[in-house]
Amino acid sequence: MDSRVGTLVGIALVLVALAAFAVYRWQQRKRVRWVEGRVREYLVERYGGLPNHLNINCSEDPLWPVLVSFDDPRTGTRNRLQFSCSGPASTFSLFSEKEEGR
């Protein structure tokens, strides 16, 4: 009987660990969606709409910058932006900006 209890406890611990990992991954993906939404809002405010060929590269790691590239709708030049977003909403900010001719 003791081996069955030990097995059940082991299975329960594995299930709890899997559930905790699933919740962690869900929160990370939620953060990525939130950051991508903030970037889109920023670009709509700045350019009056979403630019062409928009690419948002946001890692699940909050320490990595958010990399954004797009074609400027007014000039057609390629822009590359880096945003910093290492914590709560108040830390979201434009870190660097480059413009490249085509």
The whole-model pTM stands at 0.76
Domain that includes residue 59, residue range: 2-100
Encode the chain (102 residues) as per-residue pLDDT tens digits: 588 988 999 999 999 999 999 999 998 889 889 989 999 999 999 988 899 899 999 888 878 889 999 998 788 889 999 998 876 666 778 888 898 876
Q: Reduce the DSSP state of residue 11 to 3 states and report it.
A: helix
pLDDT (0 to 100) of residue 90? 61
What's the pLDDT tens digit per position in 43-69? 999 988 899 899 999 888 878 889 999
Place of tokens 């910093």: 84
Total count of domains within the chain: 1
